[in-house]
Structure 1
Amino acid sequence: MFNLKLLQKNKTIKYGVPMLLLVVGGSFGLREFTQIRYDSQKIKRKLDPSLEARVNLEKQPVMLEEEYQKLKDLKLDEWKNIRGPRPWEDSREYQEQQRTTKNIKD
């Protein structure tokens, strides 16, 4: 009887042990719930066999020469970087300014 009253007055046992159980038990519980989440996402991601076969066919090895020819055919010298309007700028006014400067240069 004496030991029980002594344990009830001890703050570590009264507050610390339940808090420790909550933290440790919560981590195990969260692990289980997150595992369920990832398992359900894995199930949803599975593709039809016909679609998966088509996707795997498209994953052919990339030939460096072919990619070089594609880039060579692009006209990169004529490319111009045009800045968009800032949030505090009026976009219509800025677009008009861009159009007029483009017409002047042409």
Structure 2
Amino acid sequence: MFNLKALQKNKTVRYGVPMLLLVVGGSFGLQQFTQIRYDAQKIRRKLDPSLEAKVNMEKQSVVLEQEYEKMKETNLDEWRNVRGPRPWEESRQYQEQIRRNITAEN
């Protein structure tokens, strides 16, 4: 039916099929390599079991209601918003000036 020489001369078969195989096969190959990378990162990220237990205990111990109780105890009436020094200002001098102003007001 088909002549083998005619297929070899066809540009689609000669160039298109290998290109398609490279693109599709390359995506599957890259998938395997990237999976190895992510598996290695996951292994490196694992914590020591004793340290992981401490971290999990700290996460469990913080409860929203406890944080709310802490915030209720703070006195927000005496709170004052103080800006930090600008890049061109001397930070030590500015901090001292702010401290003097705060103590002078009290």
Whole-angstrom distance in 2 between the partners of 1:22 and 1:83: 59
Give the aligned residue type for 1:8.
Q
Shift of 1:83: 8.2
Give the aligned residue type for 1:26.
G
Structure 1 residues 71 and 17, CA, compared in 2 at 3 Å: closer, same or farther?
same
- Match of 2:104? none
Using the TM superposition, name which of 46-55 and 64-73 deviates more.
64-73
Unaligned 5+ segments in structure 2 are 102-106
> For 1:1-106, what aligned pairs fall within 5 Å after superposition?
3-72=3-72, 73=74, 75=76, 77-82=79-84, 91-92=87-88, 95=89, 99=94, 106=101
Structure 1 residues 71 and 79, CA, compared in 2 at 3 Å: closer, same or farther?
farther
What's the TM-score, normalizing by structure 1? 0.66
Q: Deviations over 1:39-61 (max 9, x none)?
A: 11111122212111211221224
Unaligned 5+ segments in structure 1 are 85-90
Whole-angstrom distance in 1 between the partners of 2:62 and 2:50: 23
Q: How many aligned positions are there?
A: 92
Q: Deviations over 1:6-60 (max 9, x none)?
A: 1122111111101100000001100100110111111112221211121122122
Structure 1 residues 18 and 83, CA, compared in 2 at 3 Å: closer, same or farther?
farther
